[in-house]
Structure 1
Amino acid sequence: MSIAFLLTALVVTVTPGTGVVYTVAAGLSHGRRASVVAAFGCTLGIVPHLAATITGLAALLHTSAVAYETVKYLGVGYLLYMAWAVYRGKGALQVEEAQPRPAARVILSAVLVNLLNPKLTLFFVAFLPQFVPSGASGSVGAMLRLGAVFMALSFVVFTAYGLCAAAVRDRLLARPRVMTGIRRVFAACFVGLSARLAVA
C-alpha cells in the first residue's frame, strides 16, 4: 500500500464536503447513533462510484458532457433540497428528542448525498488508476482494495466528525436560538456546495 495513496486519501476525506456536512448535521440533531449511521450511509454512497470506475462507466461520464451535466445538476438539485429542508428545521437538522430518525432514512439520504456527486466519480477516474499498474493482471483486485481503504478512511473520518458534533448536542439543544443559527449556517453550506458543484 503506497504511503502517497494513504496520505492523499486522508486529505481528501478530512477536507469538509457534502458527506462531512451531512454527518455533522446528523450528529447535532440526532446524536451519536445517527452520526455513525450517516457516516455509514455516506461511505455506502462511494460504492457506485467505485463500481463505475471499474466497469468503465466513469470514463463515459468523463467524456460525455450530457451525462456529466445530467448527474451534476441532479446533485445540485438535491443539495438545494437539503438546504431548504435544513433551513425549515426538517431533514438532517430536524431535532427529534422522543423518536430518533429511522436508520434507513438517514442512510438513504446519506447515500444520495454522495451518489449524486459526479466529482467523486471523476476523482476515482483520475486518482485510483495512478496506483494500479496499467494492463497488469489483478488490476481490478488492486483497485477494489484501494477503494476499500478509501471507504474505510471515509467512514472513520466521517464518524469522528459526527461524534464530535454529537458531543456538543445537549448544550446546543438548550439554546434554541443557537440551533436556529446553526440550521441557517448548514443551509448556507449546502447552498455553497451546490453552487461549487454547478460551476465545476
Structure 2
Amino acid sequence: MTAGLPPAVLAGYLAAIVLLMLTPGPDMMFVLANAARYGARAGAVAALGVAAGEAVHVAAVVAGLATVVAASPVLFTAIRWAGAAYLVVLGVRALRDAGRPNASADRADGRAGRAFLRGLLTNLLNPKMILFSVAFLPQFVRPGEGPVAAQLVLLGALFVAVQLTVDLALGLGAGRIAGRWGDSRWTRRVDRVCAVAFVALGIRLAAG
C-alpha cells in the first residue's frame, strides 16, 4: 500500500478524476483559448498555471484552510463574485480579440508568459474548486490506514498530475492545430466559442 491507501481505492480515485478532468470547465476553456490564439507554448504555460492553482487548493485542504473558507459565507461569496467577474472579463477580451489577426511572434511570447498567472487566477478564483477539494479528496482517505495528511498529499498530487496531463495534451494539441491553420476560420471560431463559454460560466458562477 502507498501512504496507507489500498490499491483498489487508488484505482477508483484515478478513474474518478480522469472522468472529471475530461469534463469541460473554466480551466479547460482557458487552456484551449490560449492555445488556439497564441500557440502550443501558451497553451502549455496556461496548463502549468492551472495546475499550480490546484496545488494551492490541495495545500489549503491539507492545512485545513479550505474548510475555513468554505464555512465562511462572506469570504466564500467574495471569492465567488471575484471569480465570476474574472471569467466575464476573460470572455469579453476573448470576444474582442476574436476578429483580430493572430498576434505576432513577439506578442505571442508575451501572452505565453502571462498565461501562467492567468491560469493560476482562473483556478484560484473558482470557489467550486474549493468546495470540490474539501468534499472530494477526504472521501478517499482511510484514517485507520495511515496519516491523514500524507494520504491527502498523495491524493492531491495525483489530482494535479492528471489535471496537468489532460490540460497539457489539450493545450499542445490545440496549439499545433492553430499553428498549422494560422488565421483560419477555425481559430476564430474557437476564440468565439471560448469567449461565450467564459461569459456563460461567469454568469452561472455569479448566480450560484
**TM value normalised by structure 1:** 0.89
Q: Following TM superposition, by how much is the alpha carbon of 1:169 offset from its aligned partner in structure 2, in angstroms? A: 0.6
Q: Which residue of 2 aligns with 1:87?
A: 95
Which of residues 189, 192, 196 in structure 1 aligns to 2:197? 189
C-alpha contact (below 8 Å) 1:86/1:94 kept by paired residues:
no
AA aligned to 1:149 is L
Q: Is 1:9 the counterpart of 2:17 in the alignment?
A: yes
Q: Which residue of 2 aligns with 1:26?
A: 34
Q: Counterpart of 1:162 in 2: which secondary structure?
A: helix
Q: Which residue of 1 aligns with 2:148?
A: 139
Count of aligned pairs: 197
CA RMSD of aligned residues (A): 2.1
C-alpha contact (below 8 Å) 2:87/2:202 kept by paired residues:
yes
Within 1, Cα distance between the matches of 2:101 and 2:45?
Answer: 16
1:156–1:178 Cα change, 3 Å? closer
AA aligned to 1:98 is A
Show CA shifts across 1:52-97 (max 9, x none). 211222112222211110110000010011011111118xx98323
Within 2, Cα distance between the matches of 1:157 and 1:130?
Answer: 23
Within 2, Cα distance between the matches of 1:43 and 1:76?
Answer: 20
Q: Which residue of 2 aligns with 1:74?
A: 82
Within 2, Cα distance between the matches of 1:52 and 1:3?
Answer: 24
Range with bigger deviation, 108-117 or 161-170: 161-170
Within 2, Cα distance between the matches of 1:123 and 1:144?
Answer: 15
Q: Which residue of 1 aligns with 2:119?
A: 110
Within 2, Cα distance between the matches of 1:135 and 1:49?
Answer: 24
Q: Which residue of 1 aligns with 2:134?
A: 125
Task: In structure 1, list runs of 5 or more residues that go unmatched.
Answer: none
AA aligned to 2:105 is A
Show CA shifts across 1:7-34 (max 9, x none). 1111111111111111111111122222
Within 1, Cα distance between the matches of 2:183 and 2:54?
Answer: 36
Q: Following TM superposition, by how much is the alpha carbon of 1:199 offset from its aligned partner in structure 2, in angstroms? A: 2.6
AA aligned to 1:41 is G
**TM value normalised by structure 2:** 0.86
C-alpha contact (below 8 Å) 1:49/1:124 kept by paired residues:
yes
Q: Counterpart of 1:88 in 2: which secondary structure?
A: helix
